[in-house]
């Protein structure tokens, strides 16, 4: 497995890109401004390539977080990945944002990856992580904080990670068995996206599509046909 994989994430307040050869991270780069990732996503990738001494032209596949996440960020990542695949003729793999986030917590029987989706909503899913693996236990879903507290209780607690942990941590940490990780663990890493995308099935560049999770009607609120 000496494939060269690029991992991209720009679905949230941070962005990160990485180049992986097999399980080795050759270079990783990113930042924390949602505004900057519009400008810096692709340059970060070329910077990684030159630091790692590889050519982007040699990429075997591009893995990108395809949602849920900020609509603008999702589309930016997808267009970038699609264009890379078109030019390089390489494979492209959509990675679930919550799964990429769960990779931040290794070796845990229950990781609850949770993103603050604003408007009082949380996108969350439950995973089990073992050495180099991340198994999905529940599907992605939108929760209210109360619903997620109830779900956490029924799951018997878990390690809560992601932007929702910072916002709703004080409430959710009241649930027995829940441990809330600090914000530093909430940044999705390009290397995790690449790792998750290494095993997943690739799709044709033009079939890569975002998972908005929230309906268009919500976003178009106030603009009635």
Shortest reach from residue 18's CB to other proteins, in Å: 17
By CB under 8 A, tell whether 60 contacts other proteins.
no
Report how far residue 51's alpha carbon sits from residue 44's, in angstroms, rounded to the nearest whole number.
Answer: 10
Question: By CB under 8 A, which span of 14-22, 141-149, 164-172, 215-223 interacts with other proteins?
Answer: 215-223
- The C-alpha R_g of the chain, in whole angstroms, comes to 17
Q: Which of 21, 75, 136, 167 binds other proteins (CB under 8 A)?
A: 75
Q: Which two tokens stand for residue 184?
A: 């530093």
Shortest reach from residue 196's CB to other proteins, in Å: 22
Strand partners, 100: none
Report how far residue 210's alpha carbon sits from residue 72's, in angstroms, rounded to the nearest whole number.
Answer: 11
Q: Which of 56, 126, 151, 186 binds other proteins (CB under 8 A)?
A: 56
User: Nearer to other proteins by C-beta: 158 or 202?
Assistant: 202
Report how far residue 200's alpha carbon sits from residue 146's, in angstroms, rounded to the nearest whole number.
Answer: 33
User: Nearer to other proteins by C-beta: 89 or 120?
Assistant: 89
Residue 173's alpha-carbon distances to 31, 33, 70, 146, 186, in angstroms, are 28, 27, 25, 12, 16
Report how far residue 18's alpha carbon sits from residue 29's, in angstroms, rounded to the nearest whole number.
Answer: 6
Shortest reach from residue 201's CB to other proteins, in Å: 20
By CB under 8 A, tell whether 84 contacts other proteins.
yes
Report how far residue 204's alpha carbon sits from residue 112's, in angstroms, rounded to the nearest whole number.
Answer: 30
The number of residues that bind other proteins (CB under 8 A) is 32
List contacts with other proteins (CB under 8 A). Answer: 38-43, 45-46, 56-57, 71-72, 75-76, 78-80, 82-84, 86-88, 205-206, 210, 216, 219-220, 223-225
């Amino acid at each position: 497995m000496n494939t060269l994989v690029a991992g991209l994430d720009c679905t949230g307040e941070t962005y990160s890109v990485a180049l992986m050869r097999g399980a080795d991270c050759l270079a990783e780069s990113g930042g924390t401004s949602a505004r900057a990732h519009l400008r810096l996503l692709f340059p970060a990738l070329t910077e990684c390539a030159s630091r790692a001494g590889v050519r982007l032209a040699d990429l075997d596949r591009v893995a990108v977080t395809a949602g849920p996440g900020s609509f603008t960020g999702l589309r930016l990542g997808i267009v970038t990945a699609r264009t890379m695949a078109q030019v390089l003729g390489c494979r492209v793999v959509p990675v679930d944002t919550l799964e990429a986030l769960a990779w931040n917590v290794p070796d845990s029987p229950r990781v609850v990856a949770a993103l603050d989706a604003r408007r009082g909503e949380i996108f969350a899913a439950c995973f089990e992580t073992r050495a180099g693996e991340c198994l999905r236990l529940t599907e992605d879903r939108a929760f209210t904080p109360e619903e997620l507290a109830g779900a956490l209780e029924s799951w018997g607690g878990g390690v809560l990670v992601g932007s929702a942990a910072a916002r709703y941590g004080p409430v959710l940490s009241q649930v027995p068995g829940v441990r809330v990780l600090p914000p530093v663990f909430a940044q999705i890493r390009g290397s995790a996206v690449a790792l998750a995308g290494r095993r997943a099935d690739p799709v044709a560049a033009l079939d890569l599509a975002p998972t908005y999770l929230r309906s268009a009607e919500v976003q178009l609120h106030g603009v009635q046909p």
